[in-house]
Amino acid sequence: MFEYDESIVQALITDSKDFKELYKRHNELKRRVDKVGIGRLALDDATVNAMKREKLLTKDRMSAMVDDYRREHTI
DSSP conformation letters of 34-75: HHHHTTSS---HHHHHHHHHHHHHHHHHHHHHHHHHHHHT--
Q: Give 35's pLDDT tier (boundaries 50, 70, 90).
A: very high
Task: Give pLDDT tens digits for 46-65.
Answer: 999 999 999 999 999 999 99
Residues 6+ apart with CB under 8 A from 65: 12, 16, 18, 19, 22
pTM equals 0.89
